[in-house]
Amino acid sequence: MISYHAPPVLNAESILVWKTLKVLRTWFHLRLVTASVPSADTTLTLPDDIEVERLPTWMPSAYKPRRALEKIIGRFADEAWLWARQAPASMKVPVDLLYSRSQPGASHLLALRWKLRTGKPWIAQFSDPWAHNPYHAGRTPRRKAFDEANERAVVAKADALIFPTKEILEQYIHLYPHVPVADKSMVLPHHFMPELYPERVERPAEIADKLLFAYLGDFYGQRSPEPFLAGLEKALAARPDMRQRVAVEFYGNVESKFEPLVARAPIPIRKGRVSYLDSLARMRQADVLVLIDAPSATGRNPFLASKLIDYLGAGRKILGITDVEGTAADILRAEGHPVVSPRDVDGIASVMVALMDAYQRGESFSVPVPMAYSSEEVVAKLAARMERLLGETHMK
């Protein structure tokens, strides 16, 4: 596996890599090529039987100098381009199959060089769109040209492609009509590991008897807490008796531009940052887990937040503040969870009022866990695709 992000880094892609490797090792002997970066979450440990090669990033270790250099490089190329230009020692070791994951796209750039050098079968998996990500519209013309050229090469040369949603797959089919994208692609969602969730979690005394809404993840860019907070204010205005019986928790990084919004929330919000395993415990502790996606220009969300799948594994009610069209909305509705557009504050408030009323009636907020999204189920499909590709290669 080639992935710039990997444990112990604490971000969505690294966590997905961790879960995938933990299950995939039951099918294959694995070697991971990743970046050498400072530890962030020591609970994300890789199994001892996975060989790991960590390549230097050639970036400063201090946060501010590193971010400054990334911004400079990012005007012209992938921020991890220097990492992707290296020749790992593993490239000289026999392998049967290459498997790269993004983001960032640099993981695919390293895999592309490996593919061209060895001719080994290669699966490229995308967690998000790369060159045509709607939230990267502000990139410079040179950076856009860099991403488009490299994405075109990766899509053409990879033997198989994997996307998390049908919307992203459709985008790539449209973008590359001269490549048989549909024929060599499959859609695989993110996944959760049920064994990582605690069976029971005791709440602190101050929130033990309250309706607890919890959001786990970062607020940044266009992903804002505003629709949730505006809906909460309206809901509490409609049910003032619940003001002392509702609690809200945000766990993750809140970009500075959103801090004033949080400070003006209608009730105090408990904030913090926790490890990944602690975040799963916080999910189990909550009554309602809140998904907040940035609204898309089309009204159809092409993305699938990995936190949504982790929410499903917690077996709690989910309030989906996301576009009413798209894979995320489809999954939520199929599992019986409410979906409201981020632009529909009145709709968000209405759902919150219904949840408050259900809480007052003593209803349970526990829901069945859909095991179709478990790591065992999803990674088994990935392993089967790898085995088919290896079989096809041996037959040539």
How many other CB atoms are there within 10 angstroms of residue 383's CB atom?
16
- Asked whether 275 and 386 are in contact (CB, 8 A), the reply is no
- Asked whether 184 and 162 are in contact (CB, 8 A), the reply is no
Mean pLDDT value of segment 354-367: 97
For the cut 70, the answer to whether the pLDDT of residue 229 exceeds it is yes
Architecture of domain 12-191+374-395: 3-Layer(aba) Sandwich (3.40)
Please name the residue ranges forming H helices in 158-196.
166-175
Q: How far apart are alpha carbons 352 and 53 in whole angstroms? A: 48
Please name the residue ranges forming H helices in 336-374.
345-360
Residue 42: the pLDDT is 87
- Tens of pLDDT, residue by residue over 85-134, are 999 999 999 999 999 999 999 999 999 999 999 999 999 999 999 999 98
Confidence class of residue 221 from pLDDT cuts 50, 70 and 90? confident
For the cut 70, the answer to whether the pLDDT of residue 378 exceeds it is yes
* Residue type, position 338, single letter: P
What is the percent of the chain where pLDDT is above 90? 91
For the cut 70, the answer to whether the pLDDT of residue 179 exceeds it is yes
For the cut 80, the answer to whether the pLDDT of residue 50 exceeds it is yes
- Tens of pLDDT, residue by residue over 282-294, are 999 999 999 999 9
Q: What is the mean pLDDT of the chain?
A: 95
- Asked whether 120 and 98 are in contact (CB, 8 A), the reply is yes
Q: Higher-confidence residue: 62 or 244?
A: 244
Q: How far apart are alpha carbons 332 and 326 in whole angstroms? A: 10
Q: How far apart are alpha carbons 253 and 269 in whole angstroms? A: 14
Q: How far apart are alpha carbons 6 and 30 in whole angstroms? A: 14
Burial of 64 (0-12, 13-18, 19+ CB in 10 A): exposed
Phi and psi at 9, nearest 5°, equal -60, 140
Q: SS3 for 233? A: helix
* CATH fit for domain 195-371, picks 3.40.50.970, 3.30.540.10, 3.40.50.2000, 1.20.1510.10: 3.40.50.2000
Burial of 188 (0-12, 13-18, 19+ CB in 10 A): middle
For the cut 70, the answer to whether the pLDDT of residue 395 exceeds it is no
Residue 91: the pLDDT is 94
Q: How far apart are alpha carbons 245 and 197 in whole angstroms? A: 26
Residue 396: the pLDDT is 57
Mean pLDDT value of segment 322-347: 97
- Asked whether 40 and 76 are in contact (CB, 8 A), the reply is no
Confidence class of residue 394 from pLDDT cuts 50, 70 and 90? low
- Tens of pLDDT, residue by residue over 185-210, are 999 999 999 999 999 899 999 999 99
Q: SS3 for 1? A: coil
Weakest-pLDDT range from 30-34, 226-230, 252-256? 252-256
Residue-range domain boundaries for the chain: 12-191+374-395, 195-371
DSSP tally for the chain: helices H, then strands E: 13, 14
| Of residues 346, 352, 280, 286, the one with CA closest to residue 319 | 352
Residue 252: the pLDDT is 94
- Asked whether 128 and 103 are in contact (CB, 8 A), the reply is yes
Domains 12-191+374-395 and 195-371 share a fold: yes
Q: How far apart are alpha carbons 356 and 245 in whole angstroms? A: 9
Q: SS3 for 257? A: helix
Spatial neighbors of 323 by CB under 8 A, at least 6 apart, are: 293, 295, 296, 299, 300, 301, 329, 341, 342
Q: SS3 for 325? A: strand
Q: How far apart are alpha carbons 11 and 40 in whole angstroms? A: 9
